[in-house]
Structure 1
Amino acid sequence: MSAVSAAKPTYPGVYVEELPSSTRTISTLTTSVTAFVGHTRRGPLNEPVRVTSFTEFERRFGGLSAQSAVGYAVHQFFGNGGTVAVIVRVAKAGSGQAACTTLESTEGHSECDVLKVHAKEPGVWGNGLRVAVDYDTPCPDETFNLRVHDAKGEARESFTGLSADPSNGRYVQTVVNAGSRLIRVEVVGEGRPDPSGTVSKPFGHELPDLAVDLTVKIGDVEREFTLHDPDCDGEAPSSVAELALLLERKLRALPDAPGKHAFAGAEVTAFGRRVQVIAGSTDPEDVVRFLGECANDLGLEASVNPPVFPLEGGEDGEAPGPRDLIGSEADKSGIQALRGVADVNLLVLPELAAYEKAEDAVTVVSAAQRLCQERRIFLLVDAPSTWVSVDTARAGLAAFDAVRGNHAGLYFPHLQLTDPLTGRLRSFPPSGAVAGVIARTDSERGVWKAPAGTEARLAGVHSLTVNLTDRETGLLNPLGVNVLRTFPVTGPVVWGARTLEGSDALDSEWKYVPVRRLALHVEESLQRGLQWVVFEPNDENLWQQIRLSASSYLHTLFRQGAFKGGTPREAYFVKCDRDTTTDEDIENGIVNVLVGIAPVRPAEFVIVKIQQMSGQFAL
């Protein structure tokens, strides 16, 4: 609360002043924002993009693809309760090409290339884009409009009043590249690109005799009509705009070829003293041509182009290899692109499960864990697809001994789901669905609740690739493998909550996923919530404010059930005083805060003892 100037007492009574609060609160941060890194159909390369639904993922990254494990993982994430995802598209270095087309100009000089239009990102998806140009602007002799259509002919983006002059505020390269999600342009010559369709020569102030017979050909279809019949059409047009309306009506009345809409959807636009005629389709072959001497007399063929200019040559990039996924910290590529992203809590790399060599997957996991330790992220590791039984899992687990860290959890086996693209049952890595379960558990119970048990149901899962028994689960759980099980009534569930360091033989204090994730959450919240401390006077007053802020935050978690213990003293402590910060620390500009928490550990083993009673019951 902001302070007001002290009131000067002038009469007997009560005076009220507002004083600023000395308490600085520490906000609770997100816990389940999940990053997915790998191959997608489209999208910016090595650029983190936040999405909040699978619909948004489809729009930005092209949706499901048989070659994209990431697309299916994101679909399963949102289907199981996930709410926010960060997508990083990665492709094999040097692969992939953006679709493009080159627009020409014949205006006032010889024919030359003036504008290259590229799809915004590499991929075959760009081959479905079409661009159209017209001069229907307030300055039809100087500026132009550029419209982007998809393969279905639907307009997706429109940029109006563009100029080919770099000094103009509507310079095409600046406006389009800053505002388009679909294309980028490059000016390669002087002049405006020619308009789409057929454009006439400029008409004089008085229109010529329009009572003429014309022949028009669109594609392979040729039709004849009378432009103006006084008996049927009334008075002749007196302006170019009226001429455009008449010509459009005449063209639309002509019969189309079967299944075509070229004549029926024709558009005629007047700009300045000229008209532009565009076929009612996005087929580049549907060029409008006016034939015969009468058409020449009217000047209906000053410029002839297709209705749209198609982009071509787009190629999908190859699936990324281990080096591509690991990326470069200098270039911020691969998983290293996440270094500049705040509030990422989980990391999913679903493509690793398909690697033929276990050492390749381990190499990526090792690099990913280093990133997770630095950024306080938890990694979800899929079991390799070659683990098709308990025996193969136990034999293959030795490959992960080198990366048994506490910032990752390993999940086995794979899921069997119906593929939305084919309608057939197929197997998928579980990490995307597990990330959704974790997000749902965090939302309903809290980050301290183990994302496992009968509440951790896997939505949309038909079955599992390996059906585990209690005995088989008992062989894998002590090794730090989080198994997925199927139970009657409940269905498929997550049935493990250990980190990769959670093997019984390692006896780690970070054995359990919820304990590790709770600690990461507390560390990140305190680190951000105490930023205000920097450059404050390092004295007892500051230490007291730190203790108050940190204790208030931890007490909120205690009341929500994050810690064990019946009292706050048993659940947590915050120490910041002369014992933690010495005179030497003060001289070096250091303040030390010691925080301890008692996290709640999950009940993995519930033992029920039954004793048989003998004798008679007294009634």
Structure 2
Amino acid sequence: MALDYFAPGVYVEEVDRGSRPIEGVSLSVAGFIGFTEDVRGDAELFKPIMITNWSQYLEYFGKEGSDGFTDFNAYLPFAVQGWFLNGGGRCWVISIGTKLPGTPAPSEEEIATKLKSSGGKPSISLNLKLPEADGDTPALPASTERITVVIEDSTPKPLPEDAPEDAEPPLNTGEYFKLKVRQGNRVLEEYEHLSMNPEVATAEGDYVVTMLEASEYITVADISSSGQFLSRRPSNGNYEVAPPPYIAPPERLNRDITGSRDERQGMQGLLEIDEVAMFAFPDLMKAYETGLINLEQVHGVMEMMLSLCENSFPGPPYRMAVLDAPPVKPSKSFDPVLPERQKPQDVAQWLSAFNRRSMFGALYYPWIKVANPRNQGLPIYVPPCGHMMGIWCRTDQNRGVFKAPANDTPRGVLGLAYETNMREQELLNPIGINCIRNFANYNRGYLVWGARTLVDPTNIQWRYISVRRLMSYIEKSIEIGTQWVVFEPNDSDLWGRVSRVVSNFLERLWREGALFGASPAEAFFVKCDASINTNETIMMGRLYIEIGVSPVRPAEFVIFRISQWAPNQ
């Protein structure tokens, strides 16, 4: 608004008097940590990368042409696939390695990129030429960008300038090829007139193995067996040369899991991404099964997961960790098809030993049976966390964050590690263990039959996942949607505008069925007036708004009271 007017005329001024609606935030973005088959493309080890579908996961964490799963049955790929199968959308994934810590390093032949001829027979193999390192551990290349080898057509060497005029050029048999070493868009090296013939005349070409000995980046081995040199020539194309896998010593595993907030690595780096509202670490169970960590260390990681969810200063905490119950005991001969079943009393005793309660955690039991593409589709038991978070996301989309993510079918589940009955669930449900049950007797299949947090059982107001997430949704939405209020004049006009904006947001939630009450007045209240904003608080630059909401709660126990009735005659 102009402060002074000097010349006569008509002045048009734009005045912002309208309220700014609060838009609800998304609490449907998940985070995953674990082992992957590979780390390719834009993905980096220990750093989170956004994934929007399974094909994108394969692009970043699967080898070329692979199914994306691992030979040692890491649980992360199953969890991410279960997330997408059950309706999950955007998620963030962190790879903490492509081999289990302490695994023997693979030989050069095992990790070599093998090129084939046009007839599909072996031709040459490629390996990265790495700098020397101390000990037996290979040094990793300085750059995370992969080396790519390009094979193209070539010709024999041209005649030298001093050749006789009647000299005939070498015959182009088609066996010659060009090899380029690229990194991104840069051509690092280029070799022409290459042949698979070890005795090729130097005036006509160069044997590929001999010529590539001078390369600073790759080594080449001839793996062709027999046949003419033309039929042994590698096919044209682009071939990615993968570096050796990162294999950490077992004592470093906990450090890799924790990561660094400043470097955006590991679990701490994952929670630096504001949109991640739920996360899981399925391969914590793989580390425990294989004896890399003991049960006390498992408890330490779970404690850290819950503590990170509870601490999100300066805003309100809004994240939840989905935990998995460990198997009865670790075993290096653990059978993924028929594991030692953990009975209800076992998981109840384990939770009592863990002895950590939080409204920002959830636990599901038992493990689920899914198809293992790496083993011809045979079943494997995996932790349920990824599938359950997918159901959370699906429920958010179909009904809303206020609907309990239960009484729903988990997709991709072939069976359960233990079929809990009602009497056994009476032991687990009161202590916050959500059961996945088989209702075959009712022809309803497998259903998620629990919706509780891991809060202290006596703290009834935060008992349900839907209530905790609805309150987080309201708090985070209001926090982000009222940033415009900061530094506005702190007067009754601002109080009215803030009250109006928040009331409109809560009324919208009430109309959607998220708040309990026959009218908005019964469902919520918003107070922002002189009774709580005194002269002293205004002098300190503070604006107080009190909000009360009545969230809907799930009908966990449905009780029909039936009696015989005889009407008066």
Residue 361 of structure 1 corresponds to 298
The offset of 1:588, in angstroms, is 2.0
8 Å contact kept, 1:95–1:316: no
The offset of 1:323, in angstroms, is 4.0
Distance 2:509 2:114 in 1: 52
Pick from 306, 316, 326 the counterpart of residue 384 of structure 1.
326
Distance 2:167 2:529 in 1: 96
Distance 2:242 2:52 in 1: 31
Give SS of 1:321's match.
Answer: helix
Residue 128 of structure 1 corresponds to 113
Distance 2:105 2:167 in 1: 46
Distance 2:22 2:57 in 1: 32
Q: 1:564 to 1:302 in 2, by over 3 A?
A: closer
Q: 1:93 to 1:473 in 2, by over 3 A?
A: closer
2:395 pairs with 1:458: no
Please give the TM-score of this superposition, normalised by the length of structure 1. Answer: 0.67
2:432 pairs with 1:480: yes
2:211 pairs with 1:305: yes
Q: 1:275 to 1:447 in 2, by over 3 A?
A: closer
- List runs of 5+ in structure 2 lacking aligned partners: 1-7, 63-67, 116-121, 125-141, 181-189, 221-240, 313-317, 329-340
Pick from 200, 203, 207 the counterpart of residue 290 of structure 1.
200
2:424 pairs with 1:424: no
The offset of 1:301, in angstroms, is 5.0
Pick from 459, 470, 476 the counterpart of residue 518 of structure 1.
470
The offset of 1:41, in angstroms, is 2.4
Residue 563 of structure 1 corresponds to 515
Trace 1:202-601 onto structure 2 (pairs within 5 A).
Answer: 204=161, 209=166, 211=168, 227=171, 247=172, 251-252=173-174, 263=175, 266=177, 276-278=192-194, 286=196, 290-291=200-201, 296=203, 300=205, 305-306=211-212, 311=241, 314-318=244-248, 321-354=253-286, 355=288, 357-375=294-312, 376-386=318-328, 388-401=342-355, 403-422=356-375, 423-453=377-407, 456-488=408-440, 489-501=443-455, 503=457, 506-601=458-553
Residue 146 of structure 2 corresponds to 182
8 Å contact kept, 1:345–1:377: yes
Give SS of 2:311's match.
Answer: helix
- List runs of 5+ in structure 1 lacking aligned partners: 1-7, 102-123, 131-150, 154-175, 186-194, 215-226, 228-246, 253-262, 280-285
**Structure 1 vs Structure 2 CA RMSD:** 4.0
2:22 pairs with 1:26: yes
8 Å contact kept, 2:96–2:256: yes
8 Å contact kept, 1:196–1:305: no
Trace 1:74-113 onto structure 2 (pairs within 5 A).
Answer: 74-91=80-97
Give SS of 2:359's match.
Answer: coil
The offset of 1:86, in angstroms, is 0.4
Give SS of 2:496's match.
Answer: helix
8 Å contact kept, 1:379–1:407: yes
2:34 pairs with 1:38: yes
8 Å contact kept, 1:99–1:313: no
User: Residue type of the partner of 1:435?
Assistant: M
The count of aligned residue pairs is 467
8 Å contact kept, 1:196–1:278: no
Higher Cα radius of gyration: 1
2:6 pairs with 1:49: no
Distance 2:28 2:562 in 1: 41
8 Å contact kept, 1:201–1:301: no
Encode CA deviations 1:233-266: one digit per residue, 9 max, x unaligned: xxxxxxxxxxxxxx3xxx23xxxxxxxxxx4x85
Distance 2:551 2:461 in 1: 11
User: Residue type of the partner of 2:309?
Assistant: C
Q: 1:81 to 1:472 in 2, by over 3 A?
A: same
Distance 1:22 1:368 in 2: 42
Q: 1:76 to 1:152 in 2, by over 3 A?
A: farther
8 Å contact kept, 2:437–2:449: yes
